[in-house]
């Protein structure tokens, strides 16, 4: 491990011994016996991090270092939030609701050029400035973190395509359904709620002089 690289592993509910392997290889391991839920580890790791560039990964994905370099380099060159350009399958007859939610949020944020790129998707990297602007706690709800970053003027860019769909299979409950999909949709609704609360019911979009008072 490079001496100027800090690797933080947030191990929560782990039973396969990967936390011990990470520690043996030089990572700083923050351990919890119980599972903390999706993306909470991001907040915990970010609070502990000391570096100027924070790169977020999923411990279940094996990604070569060379494919991670573009995200770090983008932040070093002035990007505050460097996203994976992976948008998910959007050209099928029935586009997945999570893909639609990602596209819709970016349109609401006036970031349509991002298409479906999202902080929900790893890998991505952020600057120290972004962490301080967004707040570590908000990183537990990635779409909300993205809304905060956009509303507060941070530079967000989809910098590199890494197709993680096959690396991150859909997890369904034993009773059927898509609980992770439900979670992500809820995250996007929370992001929209934050946006309208901060910028007004129309998200800073014009009402074109509509005289609503005449119909009250």
Q: In this structure, are residues 19 and 31 in contact, taking their beta carbons and an 8 Å threshold?
A: yes
Residue 16, burial from CB neighbour count under 10 angstroms (0-12, 13-18, 19+): exposed
Q: How far is it, in rounded angstroms, from Cα 51 to Cα 46? A: 9
Q: Is residue 41 part of a domain?
A: no
Q: Is residue 43 part of a domain?
A: no
- pLDDT of res. 90: 67
Q: Is residue 93 part of a domain?
A: yes
**Structural domain count, the chain:** 1
In this structure, is the dihedral angle defined by the CA atoms of residues 33, 36, 38 and 39, taken in order, positive or negative?
A: negative
- pLDDT of res. 174: 57
Q: Is residue 1 part of a domain?
A: no
Q: Is residue 189 part of a domain?
A: yes
- Average pLDDT for runs of 10 along the chain of length 216: 87 93 95 96 98 96 95 98 91 87 97 97 98 98 99 98 78 71 98 96 91 90
The residue range of the domain holding 152 is 53-205
């Amino acid at each position: 491990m490079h001496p100027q690289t800090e690797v933080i592993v947030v191990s929560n509910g782990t039973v396969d011994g990967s936390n011990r392997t990470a520690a043996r290889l030089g990572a700083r391991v923050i351990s919890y016996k119980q599972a903390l839920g999706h993306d909470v580890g991001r907040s915990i790791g970010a609070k502990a991090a000391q570096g100027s560039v924070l790169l977020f990964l999923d411990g279940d994905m094996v990604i070569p270092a060379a494919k991670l370099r573009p995200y770090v380099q983008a932040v070093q060159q002035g990007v505050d939030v460097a996203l994976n350009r992976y948008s998910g399958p959007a050209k099928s007859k029935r586009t997945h609701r999570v893909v639609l939610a990602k596209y819709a949020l970016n349109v609401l944020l006036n970031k349509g050029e991002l298409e479906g790129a999202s902080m929900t998707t790893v890998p991505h990297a952020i600057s120290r400035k972004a962490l301080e602007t967004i707040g570590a706690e908000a990183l537990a709800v990635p779409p909300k973190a993205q809304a905060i970053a956009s509303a507060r003027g941070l530079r967000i860019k989809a910098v590199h395509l890494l197709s993680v769909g096959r690396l991150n299979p859909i997890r369904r409950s034993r009773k059927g359904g898509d609980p992770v999909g439900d979670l992500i949709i809820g995250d996007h609704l929370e992001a929209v709620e934050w946006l309208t609360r901060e910028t007004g019911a129309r998200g800073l979009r014009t009402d074109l002089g509509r005289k609503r008072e005449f119909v009250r």
